Copies of this chain bind each other. A is one copy, B any other.
């Protein structure tokens, strides 16, 4: 049986999982692929640490060029997560005629257009199943399983850390801070926590999903991004009473005016398929013009699930090597940019919490501002008085335009009685 040689650059958690998987499931993979996948070299800055898996010292190196310049290596797995060097590794691999498998969502979201073009120029593929949703084969599903559909809507819970935090706050009423500290201990969090908490990691993944599903490259800089750091246990309790769960959603929708791409905390009904996706689970909800509603749920991170995704890519990349046909079906669109919808036009219902001094007339002033913006109030919840005199005014609005809402929120935050910026959470209906 033919051997396909693989070079691994970046030997962290996922890389270790891949080494273990290729060993443990090797018989099964060889049978399915019709060839052996062999890791012939591993490059990492740290080649001393014990990863719990035995590897011949002769294949370890600190020098990635020993992989990139080895003509015997057919596939390069790039798992460094190094923002400065990973792009170069991928470019060099492609130019050397190698297939590339990566989980580097930040790099692909930022520089994917250039990288995928370079792949095409070199007639090689960049495979990135592991970049979105961990072990969930969502890239495959969009690329092939649902490819006969015009996908109209993507709603993703695609960051495990924030979903863990919101789930813990919801299920046990603990504070954001306490839940965050638990999440950090779990080991799933990104090194740079702000990528998780501020929604940036979700935005990276959304760029990949939308570019794949909507047939044009989505510009990361044009995705509206808002994280979960302002969500309080209070917001969760109030909205739960109204039948909602708060989730950090990555949203991609095809509208008549173009694609609407956003990441923000979102209220979804308790009856929505995504509302029961808790803890470190990830899920992607898709609507297609024929496939209708679909939900793909699984572990969004961790050694095993992410290694499963990398290995599926390795098998597909290996099939290309065997057949000599490097055409990737349903490949991502980089030739043209995805047309985006004007932000201000988007309409949805809103939950608004306004921290205001408890004085007569506050609610009237707020209501006036909203009314002037043509935003009608569906319900008002004002909780009891507090010692400090700050009482949150809590409102649910009917559908209102984004532009009007932003103006109104700005005006409300300028009221003398309003001591800190109002929080609004959009409702996904």
Give the interface of A toward B (CB within 8 A).
Answer: 17, 21, 24-25, 28-29, 31-32, 129, 135-137, 140-141, 144-150, 215, 273, 276, 283, 288-299, 302, 304-305, 307-309, 311-312, 314-316, 319, 323, 325, 327, 329-330
Contacts and interface: CB of A to CB of B under 8 A. Distances in A.
A312 B273 contact: no
B24 A289 contact: yes
A295 B273 CA distance: 12
Nearest to A17: B290
Contact of A308 (B28, B149, B276, B329): B149
A298 B291 contact: yes
28 contacts: A17-B290, A25-B148, A25-B290, A28-B150, A31-B215, A135-B291, A137-B140, A137-B141, A140-B141, A140-B144, A141-B141, A144-B312, A144-B316, A145-B312, A148-B312, A148-B314, A273-B297, A288-B308, A289-B304, A290-B311, A292-B299, A292-B302, A294-B296, A294-B297, A294-B299, A295-B297, A296-B297, A323-B325
Contacts of A150: 25, 28
A146 B139 CA distance: 12
How many copies of this kind of chain does the complex include? 2
A148 B129 CA distance: 13
A311 B295 CA distance: 19
Nearest to A270: B276
Q: Which residue, of A283, A293, A314, has the highest number of chain B Cβ atoms within 10 A?
A: A293
B28 A215 contact: yes
A17 to B, nearest CB: 7
Given A25-B150, A140-B140, A145-B312, A304 B325 contact: no
B295 A298 contact: yes
A145 B129 CA distance: 9
A144 B135 contact: no
Contacts of A29: 147-148
B290 A305 contact: yes
A158 to B, nearest CB: 15
A140 B289 CA distance: 19
A312 B25 contact: no
Given A28-B215, A295-B297, A325-B325, A290 B319 contact: no
A304 B305 CA distance: 31
Nearest to A138: B145
B17 A148 contact: no
Contacts of A312: 144-148
Nearest to A275: B276
B291 A304 contact: yes
Contacts of A146: 135, 137, 308, 312
A294 B24 contact: no
Nearest to A273: B297
Nearest to A142: B137
A392 to B, nearest CB: 32
Nearest to A145: B137
A108 B204 CA distance: 42
A308 B290 contact: yes
The list of the 6 closest CB pairs from A to B, nearest first, reads: A137-B145, A148-B311, A294-B298, A290-B308, A291-B308, A135-B291
A147 B315 contact: yes
A25 B145 contact: no
Contacts of A147: 29, 32, 312, 315
Given A298-B295, A311-B290, A145 B149 contact: no
Given A137-B144, A140-B145, A319-B329, 8 more contacts: A135-B146, A135-B294, A148-B308, A273-B297, A283-B295, A290-B307, A292-B299, A294-B296
